Amino acid sequence: MALLRACKFSLAALTFSRLASAQVPGTTTAENHPQLPTYKCTNSGGCVQQDTSVVLDWDYRWIHSGNTNCKTSNGRPNTSVCPNQATCSRNCVIEGVDYAASGVTTSGNSVTMYQYRTSNGVTNSVSPRIYLLGSDGNYVTPKLLGQEFTFDVDLSALPCGENGALYLSEMSSTGGRSSTNPGGANYGSGYCDAQCPYQAWKNGNMDQAGPYCCNEMDILEANSRANSFTPHPCNSNDCDKIGCSFNPYASGYRNYWGPGGTLDTSRPFTVVTQFITNDGTTSGTLATITRRYIQNGRAVASANPSGDSIYSNNCQSGVQYGGFNTMGQALGRGMVLAFSIWNDNSGNMNWLDSGNAGPCSSTEGAPSNILANYPNTRDYHHIVADYHYQHPDDDDDDDDEHQNDHRPSNSNTNPLGTVRWCRLYWTHLLRD
C-alpha cells in the first residue's frame, strides 16, 4: 500500500497554508505549517494516514508591537508594551515563521531538523523545537498506554554533545487557546515539560507564576554515540526531573549504540517503543516500557539479553511523583508529541553521552566544538534501510513500498548537526 513509503531524504519543504484565526497573530509572516503525514494503526483497520503537520514553538517567534519587540533580549516581556496580559495582547502580535530558516524541513513523511543554519555567510544556532499538529489546529495527542510508537531516525550526523529528542509532554492540546491567545497551538503555544521551565509566556499568556510542570515521556534523546529513554512523572508542581532512564552504555553495553555498533547509528533505523500494561489493555496500569530496534530489515537484538526495558517496580526517584501510575495515566489521556534538536553550553550534554553515560569526552560536546566542525559534511551512508519487518501495516502484497526502500536516498549528505525523523506510527502492540 502506498502509504508505507520509505523515508524520502530530499530537502524540499512541502508546506500548506493555514489562515490566522484572529487578530492576535500578525500579518508580517504567514504561518505555513510543514506537512508531516503520520499513521495511526489498528488491528482491524490497518494504518490510516493522518493529516498532520508540524508547528514551531511560540518562543521562537517574533512578538511585536509595530517595530517594538514585546520580548526583551533576555526573553522576558517588555514591560512598557506588556505591563499585563490584557495590555500585551492588545499591543502585540505574534508572527508566523520561515520554517527552513528556523531549521525545520519536511519532505514526504520525514522531517529534518538542523542545529545550525547559515544565511548570508553567517551561521547561527537555530535549535528548533516543534510539535505535531492536527488538521483541526490542535496538537495531536496520541494515547499510547497499552500501545506502541514507531518511527525511523537518522542520527548519523549528530555528534557528541547534540541531543535529537523525540518526546511526549502533557501540554494543553489547544495550546491554551483563548480570547487573548486565539492562535493557540497553530502558533506553538503551551509548552511545558518535566523540567518545569519558567517561561515568559504560558499558554500564550504572560506567565508571571511559573514554574510550569508537565508529565513528560522522553522516547528518544540521542546522538550517534549515545541514547536514553526516560519517563518523567510529575505531581502538580514538581517532577522526577532526572528520571529512571535506560541507556545501554550506562548499563554496561558499550558497543551497542554507535557507528558500526550492534545498532549502527551511521545508518537509519527503526525505533519501536512499547508501553505495556499489567493486563495488556489500553486501560491497565503501565508496567513496562520496552524498546526494540529494526535495521536492515531485521530485528536488532536488544542490548540487555532480557530486554531493553524499564519496569514500574524499579524506579525509586519516580515514586514520590506517582511513578509509572502517573506516567501511564498521562499516556492514556494523550500527550503532545514534541521534537527538538539542541546542544548545551553549560554541561556539553555530558549527562547523555559522556562518563558513565557514553563514550564522548567531557569537552567534545561543547557547542563551540560542534560549531567549529560545521558545516563540514562527511561521507555518511544514506542507504535507506530495507524494511522487511513486521511493521504494523506491512502486508504481503508486492507493492511499491519495498522498492522504494531499496532506492538510495535522493539527497547527498546531512550537514553535521542534523537529525531526521520519519514514518511516525502509533499503533497496537506488535505481534512478535
Ligand X SMILES: *[C@@H]1O[C@H](CO)[C@@H](O)[C@H](O)[C@H]1NC(C)=O
314: helix, strand or coil: helix
Q: How far is the CB of 225 from ligand X (least distance, A)?
A: 40
Q: 69 or 178, CB closer to ligand X?
A: 69
235 pairs with which residues across the strands? 238
DSSP 342-384: E--TTTTTHHHHBTTS-SB-TTTT-HHHHHHHTT-B-----BP
Nearer to ligand X, 64 or 423 (CB): 64
- Could you tell me if 420 and 220 are in contact, meaning their C-beta atoms sit under 8 angstroms apart? no
What SS3 class is residue 325?
A: helix
Other CB atoms within a 10 A radius of the CB of residue 33 amount to 25
Give min distance, CB of 93 to ligand X, in A. 14
Helix (H) or strand (E) holding 263: strand 263-264
Strands (E), 186-305: 201-202, 205-206, 216-222, 227-232, 234-235, 238-239, 257-258, 263-264, 269-277, 286-295, 298-300
To the query of whether residue 401 is one of the catalytic residues in this protein, the response is: no
Nearer to ligand X, 80 or 363 (CB): 80
CB of 81 to ligand X, least distance (A): 5
Nearer to ligand X, 78 or 230 (CB): 78
User: Which three cell numbers mark 282?
Assistant: 489500553
For residue 188, the minimal CB distance to ligand X (Å) is 22
Residues 191, 171 contacting (CB under 8 angstroms) = yes
Judge whether 130 and 102 are in contact, CB under 8 Å.
no
In the complex, least distance from residue 82 CB atom to ligand X, rounded to whole angstroms: 9
56: phi then psi, degrees, rounded to nearest 5: -80, 145
Cβ neighbours for 96, distance < 8 A, ≥ 6 positions apart: 20, 25, 26, 28, 29, 30, 31, 32, 61, 187
Shortest gap between Cβ of 62 and ligand X (angstroms)? 12
Among the listed residues 31, 95, 162, 221, the single catalytic one is: 221
What Å distances lie between residue 326 and 215, 232, 322, 330, 337, CA to CA?
A: 8, 9, 5, 6, 18
Q: Are strands 129-134 and 52-56 parallel, antiparallel or unpaired?
A: antiparallel
Binding site for ligand X (CB under 6 A): 68-69, 72, 78, 80-81
Instruction: Supply the minimum distance, in Å, between the C-beta of residue 326 and ligand X.
Output: 40
- Active site includes 170? no
Residue with grid cell 526531573, as numbered in its chain? 241
The residue among 208 and 314 lying less far from ligand X, judged by its C-beta, is 208
Q: For 174, which DSSP code?
A: T
Catalytic residues: 216, 221
